[in-house]
C-alpha cells in the first residue's frame, strides 16, 4: 500500500542498488501515467450548472431560449380578451421545440416589467389552477396530450406581489407543425423555429426538409 502511494515500482529486482537507474526510469514512467490520468479526469469534468433565480432570468432579457409574453389572452392595448394571443404562445412553444428548447415567461412584458396574471385569471373566472389547466389544454389540443405531458413544465412565481408563469419547453425529439388560419380563413400548417430572440416561420418546403433532417 505504502509503495503504491509513493509510486514505487513493485518489481523487487528494481530495488537492488545495481538497478538504481532502471528503478528511476520505471518510477518516472509510473509518475507520468498517474499525472496524465489525473489531468484527464480534470478535463472531462462537466462544469456545474448554476440555477438562476427567476429575477435573474428575467434580467437576462429575451434570447434564443427565453421569451416574455405580457399575458396569455388579455390584450393590454385594447383592454379586452384576445384569444389570438393564445396562438402566439402556441407558436412560441413550437419554435422552442423545433430549435433547442427554452423558457416562456407569461406575465412579463418586453421591457422586463412584471405585469402579473390577474387579468388572465379574471378572463378565465378562475385562479392559478384554472389558468394552468387552460394553458395545458390549449397545448394538448394543438400538439397532443402526450406532447404536453412529456415536454412541458409549468411553474409559478411571485415577484412584487404579482404572480407570473414560467413555461419550460423541452428540446423536441420530433418536429412540430402548427395549424393556423391564413388571411382567407383557411387552415395551413406552419413550421416555426427560434432565430435570435424571435419565433419565425420557415415557409420554403425544401428549407424545412433540410432543417428537419439536420435537427432531428
Whether 32 and 71 share a structural domain: no
Whether 83 and 59 share a structural domain: yes
Q: Which residue has the higher pLDDT, 77 or 40?
A: 77
pLDDT confidence of residue 181: 87
Whether 25 and 110 share a structural domain: no
Whether 7 and 90 share a structural domain: no
Sign of the alpha-carbon dihedral angle for 140, 199, 67, 182: negative
Whether 159 and 68 share a structural domain: yes
Sign of the alpha-carbon dihedral angle for 15, 18, 24, 30: negative
At 163, the pLDDT band (50, 70, 90 cuts) reads very high
- Spatial contact of 133 and 152, defined as CB atoms under 8 Å apart: no
- Spatial contact of 71 and 117, defined as CB atoms under 8 Å apart: yes
pLDDT digits (tens, 9 = 90+) for 11-65: 677 666 776 677 767 767 776 676 666 556 655 555 555 678 999 999 999 999 9
pLDDT confidence of residue 38: 59
Strands 102-106 and 66-69: parallel
In angstroms, the CA 156 to CA 50 distance is 20
Q: Which residue has the higher pLDDT, 126 or 22?
A: 126
| Strand ordering across the sheet containing 162-169 | 66-69, 102-106, 162-169, 152-159
Whether 37 and 73 share a structural domain: no
**Number of structural domains in the chain:** 2
* Assigned domain for 192 exists: yes
* Assigned domain for 48 exists: no
The grid coordinates listed for 44 are: 472531462
Mean pLDDT of the chain: 89
| Phi, then psi, of 5 in degrees rounded to 5 | -65, -30
At 182, the pLDDT band (50, 70, 90 cuts) reads confident
Whether 74 and 28 share a structural domain: no
pLDDT confidence of residue 205: 96
* Assigned domain for 65 exists: yes
pLDDT confidence of residue 2: 44
Whether 76 and 155 share a structural domain: yes
CATH number at residue 158: 3.30.950.30
**Would you say residue 141 has pLDDT above 80?**
yes
In angstroms, the CA 104 to CA 55 distance is 14
pLDDT confidence of residue 126: 92
Whether 30 and 137 share a structural domain: no
Q: Which residue has the higher pLDDT, 3 or 205?
A: 205
| Residues spanned by the domain of 27 | 2-43
**Would you say residue 184 has pLDDT above 80?**
yes
Rounded mean pLDDT, 75-104: 97
pLDDT confidence of residue 1: 44
Whether 39 and 60 share a structural domain: no
**Would you say residue 87 has pLDDT above 70?**
yes
Whether 62 and 37 share a structural domain: no
Whether 8 and 68 share a structural domain: no
Q: Which residue has the higher pLDDT, 81 or 182?
A: 81
- Spatial contact of 178 and 192, defined as CB atoms under 8 Å apart: yes
**Would you say residue 6 has pLDDT above 60?**
no
Tell me which of 13-17, 40-44, 106-110, 200-204 is least confident. 40-44
In angstroms, the CA 109 to CA 70 distance is 5
Phi-psi category of 45—alpha, beta or left, where left has phi over 0 and alpha has psi -120 to 50?
Answer: beta
List the beta bridge partners of residue 166. 105, 155
* Assigned domain for 49 exists: no
* Assigned domain for 182 exists: yes
At 136, the pLDDT band (50, 70, 90 cuts) reads very high
Amino acid at each position: 500500500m505504502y509503495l503504491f502511494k509513493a509510486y514505487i515500482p513493485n518489481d523487487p529486482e528494481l530495488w537492488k542498488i545495481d538497478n538504481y537507474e532502471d528503478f528511476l526510469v520505471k518510477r518516472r514512467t509510473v509518475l507520468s501515467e498517474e499525472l496524465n490520468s489525473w489531468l484527464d479526469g480534470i478535463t472531462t469534468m462537466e462544469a456545474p450548472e448554476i440555477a438562476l433565480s427567476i429575477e435573474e432570468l428575467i434580467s437576462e432579457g429575451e434570447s434564443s431560449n427565453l421569451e416574455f409574453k405580457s399575458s396569455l389572452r388579455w390584450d393590454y392595448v385594447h383592454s379586452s380578451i384576445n384569444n389570438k394571443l393564445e396562438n402566439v404562445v402556441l407558436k412560441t412553444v413550437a419554435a422552442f421545440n423545433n430549435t433547442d428548447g427554452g423558457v416562456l415567461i407569461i406575465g412579463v412584458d418586453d421591457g422586463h416589467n412584471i405585469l402579473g396574471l390577474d387579468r388572465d385569471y379574471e378572463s378565465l373566472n378562475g385562479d392559478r389552477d384554472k389558468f394552468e389547466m387552460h394553458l395545458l389544454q390549449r397545448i394538448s389540443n394543438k400538439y397532443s396530450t402526450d406532447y404536453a405531458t412529456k415536454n412541458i413544465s409549468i411553474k409559478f412565481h411571485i415577484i412584487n406581489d404579482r404572480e407570473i408563469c414560467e413555461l419550460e419547453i423541452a428540446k423536441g425529439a420530433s418536429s412540430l407543425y402548427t395549424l393556423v388560419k391564413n388571411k382567407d380563413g383557411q387552415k395551413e400548417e406552419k413550421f416555426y423555429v427560434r432565430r435570435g430572440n424571435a419565433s419565425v416561420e420557415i415557409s420554403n418546403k425544401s428549407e424545412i426538409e433540410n432543417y428537419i433532417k439536420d435537427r432531428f
